Amino acid sequence: MAWKIDNEKCLRCGACVSVCPELALELKETGIVHDAKKCTLCGICEKVCPVRAIEVKK
Amino acid sequence: MIKDSYDVVVAGAGPGGSSVSKTLAELGFSVLMVEKRQEIGAPKRCGEGLTMNTVDIIGEIPQECIRQKIDGATLYAPNGNHVLVDLGAEGGYIVERKAFDKWLAVRASRAGATVVAHAEVTDVIKEGSQVTGVRILVGGGEEKTVRAKVVVAADGVESTVSRKAGLNTTNKLVNVDSGYQYEMSNLKLETSKRIILYFGNDIAPRGYLWIFPKGPDIANVGIGTAMSEKPAKWYLDKFIKDHPEIFGQSSIIEANSGGIPVGGFLENMVLDGFLVVGDAAHQVNPIHGGGMKEATIAGEMAAKVIAKAIEKGDVSASVLSEYNEMWWKERGSKLKKVEKLREVVEKLSDSDFNMISESLTSDVAIGLTRGGKMYSLAKILMKNPRLVKLARHLI
């Protein structure tokens, strides 16, 4: 079980944040911040990412 | 620079935030507008197209913000058949968001609002159900509590501030387009006066691909897709490779990505002492994905309602909800129709697009983007018996 982001690919657009039902993601100046305690690994963020920088494994 | 309390605190300095801030400051209210990024307007998440009727709302735009005047659009069907849409005097501009957003913020500041970049709203303070202020991380260092009679979330598609306040603005996956774009140079463009849009399920599944010229050989080349097998970037890279006649000698001078809300409008956009505008409230045209006009209009509406509420001494949701009513009457009802159109368009096959391109006229194409001319499109669709049911969805 894991949520992973490739920070080299990520362009910090926040598309993933906008669809996260748990508000487990936030867009900060430094990049996407993931809260593992809130994340349910639903994978919606992975699907919306325009560059597929996110990988979710259940 | 940041005081302990204001009439209104606005989170986000895009077109929506600046519209609220400028209007309220002009009415004499104290306004703080904060932007979490270090630079207002950058990096852009936008094709930078602005229609002339948006310019009418915003006011005369300084030359340094305008890159290209547009007077038409070329729409390409998957088979290469194309429709020339004459935008004429309507037309529009391709702007430079970096300059444009800063100019909007400058205007708000000149009206009396305090604008601070690299200052992020990290939390919303509530007393019971009433929003009474925010926590702001200033310059990445000091965290400060600021009180406000009303807090406005104009923080873009991520819409974190609303959700922290307790208003659920989460986008459904089906209502978000994945956007990806390069600003490219040394392109071979037939003309820089027309935007070009490409449709097709192999080109841009459930969306379209665009070329928005910023000069004779410079353009934003972007794509919006949804529920697609491959990421948006993959489709754009493929298109560029497949069209050496345009991109053979081109260079990439900027890369952008973004999520575009294309539906799922919110019945309620207010809480006690709180409201949300712009992309954060899903206020985007669902067929073309443009949000600057909607954010500007909604921002002005929000400001007028807030002004009235503060003067009345009652900023409760029941008073602020006049904003819901105004927005749904003026914009929501129209955009809801456009959302229906999007739902129909996303079901079209490539051969359907080809067929439509045979009969689509300029005024129908323009009307459709504004929630009109649905009957005209329905009539075209009905030429194909298979599409009759879909056509009925439009009328």
Residue A27: which CATH number?
3.30.70.20
Q: Does B36 touch chain A (CB under 8 A)?
A: yes
Interface test with A, best of B178, B182, B223 (most A CBs within 10 A): B178
Q: What is the pLDDT of residue B89?
A: 76
- Do B86 and B208 share a domain, yes or no? yes
- Do B165 and B256 share a domain, yes or no? no
Higher pLDDT, A28 or B99: B99
Contact A11 B257 (CB under 8 A): yes
CA–CA gap between residue B280 and residue B264 (Å, rounded) = 12
CA B179 to chain A, closest CA, distance in angstroms equals 6
Residue B56 within a domain: no
- Do B114 and B159 share a domain, yes or no? yes
Contact B36 A21 (CB under 8 A): no
- The count of domains in chain B is 3
- Do B285 and B361 share a domain, yes or no? no
| Domain end marker among B240, B261, B282 | B261
Bridge pairing between strands B119-127 and B114-117: unpaired
Closest by CA position to B172, among listed B257, B233, B261, B258: B261
SS (H, E, C) chain B: CCCCEEEEEEECCCHHHHHHHHHHHHCCCCEEEEECCCCCCCCCCCCCEEEHHHHHHHCCCCHHHEEEEECEEEEECCCCCEEEEECCCCCEEEECHHHHHHHHHHHHHHCCCEEEECEEEEEEEEECCEEEEEEEEECCCEEEEEEEEEEEECCCCCCHHHHHHCCCCCCCHHHEEEEEEEEEECCCCCCCCEEEEECCCCCCCCCEEEEEEEECCEEEEEEEECCCCCCHHHHHHHHHHHCHHHHCCCEEEEEEEEEEECCCCCCCCEECCEEECHHHHCCCCCCCCCCHHHHHHHHHHHHHHHHHHHHHCCCCHHHHCHHHHHHHHHHHHHHHHHHHHHHHHCCCCHHHHHHHHHHCCHHHHHHHHCCCCHHHHHHHHCCCHHHHHHHHCCC
Judge contact between B251 and B201, C-beta under 8 A: no
Q: Which of B36, B163, B176 sits opposite A23 (nearest CB)?
A: B163
- Do B152 and B207 share a domain, yes or no? no
Domain enclosing residue A36, as ranges: 2-57
As given in the structure block, the two tokens for residue A15 are 């598309």
The residue count for chain B: 395
- CA-based diameter of chain A, in Å? 28
Residue B331 within a domain: no
Q: Does B171 touch chain A (CB under 8 A)?
A: yes
CA–CA gap between residue B328 and residue B331 (Å, rounded) = 5
Q: What is the pLDDT of residue A1?
A: 64
SS3 (DSSP) at A50: coil
* Nearest residue in B to A20, CA atom: B170
- Do B31 and B76 share a domain, yes or no? no
- The count of domains in chain A is 1
Judge contact between B2 and B138, C-beta under 8 A: yes
Q: Which of B38, B120, B257 sits opposite A51 (nearest CB)?
A: B257
Residue B329 within a domain: no
Residue B356 within a domain: yes
Q: Does B342 touch chain A (CB under 8 A)?
A: no
Q: Does B157 touch chain A (CB under 8 A)?
A: yes
CA–CA gap between residue B183 and residue B240 (Å, rounded) = 12
Closest by CA position to B276, among listed B2, B14, B38: B14
Q: What is the pLDDT of residue B315?
A: 98
pLDDT tens column, B126-137: 999 999 999 999
Residue B60 within a domain: no
Q: Does B347 touch chain A (CB under 8 A)?
A: no
Q: Which of A15, A20, A50 sits opposite B170 (nearest CB)?
A: A20
Residue B383 within a domain: yes
- Do B257 and B274 share a domain, yes or no? no
Residue B308 within a domain: yes
CA–CA gap between residue A5 and residue B228 (Å, rounded) = 20
- Do B184 and B246 share a domain, yes or no? yes
* H or E element at residue A54: strand A54-57
Contact B164 A23 (CB under 8 A): yes
Question: What sign has the CA pseudo-torsion B67, B107, B23, B295?
Answer: positive
| Tokens 């712009």 -> residue | B278
Which ipTM value was assigned to this complex?
0.96
Domain enclosing residue B240, as ranges: 69-91+173-261
- Do B213 and B314 share a domain, yes or no? no
Task: State the 10-residue block means of pLDDT for chain B, 395 residues long.
Answer: 96 98 98 97 95 91 97 96 88 96 98 98 98 96 96 97 97 96 98 96 96 98 95 98 98 97 97 98 96 97 98 98 98 96 94 94 91 93 91 89
CA A43 to chain B, closest CA, distance in angstroms equals 11
Residue B50 within a domain: no
Please state whether the peptide bond connecting residue B43 to the residue before it is cis, i.e. omega within 30 degrees of 0: yes
Residue A9, Cβ density class (10 Å: 0-12 exposed, 13-18 middle, ≥19 buried): middle
Q: Which of B170, B172, B257 sits opposite A13 (nearest CB)?
A: B257
- The enclosing domain of B27 has a CATH number of 3.50.50.60
